[in-house]
Every structure is written in structure tokens, then in C-alpha cells.
Amino acid sequence: MADDGDRNEVNWVAEYKRILLRVLDLRPSGMRQRLADALGANRSFVSQITNPAYPVPIPPRHVELIFDACRFPDAERRAFLEAYERAHPGRLQQPHRPSPHLRHVTLYVPDLNDPAKNAELDKMLSDMAARIAGLIAGATDDDEKE
């Protein structure tokens, strides 16, 4: 386990990020993109939550999604949870609104022979999927209120 040098204390945020990074490094290429998709985020967010040098904490609502998407081995899961609990005591036990559980889907669409148009189409499809997920999550919330 690493320490922050100045105070000779363990930097637990950096520690759980190191564990996540080690797990990701053992997975096939494309795992960071699949993780970003599962979290409903972009790859830069995944870079921030996996880089021990960045102090950005992993939100508690993402922890189970990360375990599922990355297929965390039991020993690494226990070590991650211990470091997370030391970094953020009690946060995992606090009620939080769960993120919709997302899954990766591959679509085959026509190539528009224009990188800008292809990027626009990709963004439109991604935005539409996110809006549908939000609509479903909203419907679920409304159903629970009745």
C-alpha cells in the first residue's frame, strides 16, 4: 500500500484506484470503453477514476457497476472495499440513488463516408439511448411513489 509521503499515512483513494487499475490492466483491450459505457460516462471520467494521481473519488453508486463490468476477482474486491471504506467511511452504507444498470450494445449503421457525419450519428444514437434509459428510470421512480 502506498503512502502520501509527507504524513506517512496511506492515501486510501489512491490505493483503491491502484487496485482498480491493476484489475483493468488484466482485462482485454476495450475494457475502459466498456466501463465508461456501463457507467454512462466518457473515457476521460474512467481515466480520472483509475488514475491514483487524481484525487477524484469514485462515487459510491458506481462501485457495484465497476465490480460487474470489470469482473473483479474476490480478493481484489475485498481489498478495494477495504480501501474505499477507509477513504470514505460509511459512504457505501448511505442510501444513494442507484445508476441505471447499463449494458453494452453494438449497432451496425451505415458508414456515411464523412467522419464528422459518422461522429454526429454516433452521438445521436448514444444520446437517444441515454434519454431512453433516463425515461425508464423516471418511470420506475414514479411507479415506486404510487
For residue 146, is pLDDT > 50? no
Q: What CA–CA distance (Å, rounded) separates 35 from 15?
A: 19
Rounded mean pLDDT of the chain?
82
Q: Which tens digits make up the pLDDT trace of 87-106?
A: 999 988 876 555 556 666 77
CA distance 34 to 136: 21
Q: Taking residues 44-64, report their average pLDDT.
A: 91
Largest CA distance in the chain: 57
Match 474486491 to its residue by C-alpha cell: 77
